[in-house]
């Protein structure tokens, strides 16, 4: 909330929403609040997006504020860079994160460098939204988790929400940020939390405490982690879908683990990470992306560098495998309760 907002966030009326609805609400709020906000992407206008995150926004705000583009990810990102340089706040959607690679040059060579190259005379205040990750049997070309490509690039910020409440607040903060932001939306939890137990009925966000989304404007600062649950036995670092899977495993096993939802990978809330690991002495990193050079490697290095004398065991990682995302074997690839549970047991047994 801003200082001129008369109602505090705690007092604001809240509605239970799915993540799709929360993202739509955030975009609606910013389109209404800031005439410089522009939405663009494949099928986001008339159709409302492949996952319906922009449904109704073109009808409400007009075709000059919410419009469809050709199937050209390089063109979408390039146009958004130019819009940002000229003072607009574009929010391009890339239909699936797997399709973002044709736009990589524009993101890395133009958007991320613009502030530095122009000595801050020009900026690229753009937020690139994209569904990412597995869980819907999308196979190799609709299930990738490419976050580490972007966390490696100086000048880009990378955000991954895990709840409807956070999705709205973080998206608003991203749109207001003066630097380019990659906003990855875990599609496995668009419609409900997922604890990794595949033989159970799908859950809905309805009545979930983290689905209570305040009405109107609010933002969550980029670079602030969320403590999902407090504990003393070990620290689990996760983001996106893996937050819910880790929480489900700890609940089933009765483990006194502290789970940190990182929320933003860059900037990273390293202070929260240090505080938790120094308390527990053990650390498990969980992410869906492939293991080699994944963001978990950076987290492992940071924890080792900063918390070495507090660690009682080596940092563990549970990740996707170093293979393309399989279609028929998706649940085996997905870091699930068995692999996470085994890693927790190893850490608890270590001394």
Does the annotation count 142 as an active-site position? yes
Tell me the C-alpha to C-alpha distance, in Å, between residue 115 and each of 104, 124, 158, 282: 17, 7, 17, 39
In terms of Cα–Cα distance, which of 230, 234, 229, 231 is closest to 351?
Answer: 234
Of the residues 61, 142, 165, 287, only one is catalytic, namely 142
Phi, psi (rounded to 5 degrees) for 171: -65, -40
> Roughly how many angstroms between the first and final C-alpha of the chain, as a whole number?
45
Enclosing H/E stretch for 247: helix 241-253
Please give the Cα distance from 348 to 351 (Å, whole number). Answer: 8
Phi, psi (rounded to 5 degrees) for 276: -70, -45
Rg (CA), the chain: 20
47-51: Cβ within 8 A, 24+ apart: 49/93, 49/95, 50/95, 50/96, 50/131, 51/20, 51/131, 51/187, 51/190
Torsion sign (Cα): 218, 224, 225, 231:
negative
Cite the active site residues: 142
């Amino acid at each position: 909330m801003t200082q001129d907002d008369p109602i505090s966030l705690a007092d604001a009326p809240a509605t239970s929403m799915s993540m799709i609805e929360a993202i739509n609400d955030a975009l609606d709020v910013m389109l209404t609040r800031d005439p410089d906000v522009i939405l663009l992407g494949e099928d986001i206008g008339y159709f409302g997006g492949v996952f319906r995150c922009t449904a109704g926004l073109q009808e409400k705000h007009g075709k000059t504020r919410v419009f469809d583009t050709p199937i050209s990810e390089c063109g979408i990102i390039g146009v958004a860079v130019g819009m940002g340089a000229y003072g607009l706040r574009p929010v391009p959607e890339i239909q699936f994160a797997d399709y973002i690679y044709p736009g990589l040059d524009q993101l890395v060579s133009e958007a991320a460098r613009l502030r530095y190259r122009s000595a801050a005379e020009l900026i690229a205040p753009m937020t690139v939204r994209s569904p990412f990750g597995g869980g819907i049997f999308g196979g190799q070309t609709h299930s990738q988790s490419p976050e580490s490509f972007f966390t490696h690039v100086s000048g880009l910020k990378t955000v991954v929400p895990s709840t409807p409440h956070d999705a709205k607040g973080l998206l608003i903060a991203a749109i207001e940020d003066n630097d380019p932001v990659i906003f990855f939306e875990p599609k496995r939890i668009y419609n409900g939390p997922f604890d990794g137990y595949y033989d159970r009925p799908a859950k809905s966000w309805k009545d979930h405490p983290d689905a209570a989304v305040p009405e109107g404007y609010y933002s969550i600062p980029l670079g602030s982690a969320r403590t999902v649950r407090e504990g003393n036995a070990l620290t689990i670092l996760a983001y996106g879908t893996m937050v819910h899977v880790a929480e489900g495993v700890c609940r089933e096993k009765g483990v006194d683990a502290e789970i940190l939802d990182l929320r933003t990978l860059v900037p990273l809330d390293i202070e929260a990470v240090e505080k938790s690991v120094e308390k527990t002495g053990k650390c498990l990193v969980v992410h869906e992306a492939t293991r080699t050079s994944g963001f978990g490697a950076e987290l492992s290095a940071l924890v080792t560098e900063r918390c070495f004398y507090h660690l009682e065991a080596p940092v563990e990682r549970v990740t996707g495998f170093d293979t393309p995302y399989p279609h028929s074997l998706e649940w085996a690839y997905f870091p699930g309760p068995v692999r996470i549970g085994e890693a927790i047991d190893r850490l608890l047994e270590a001394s």
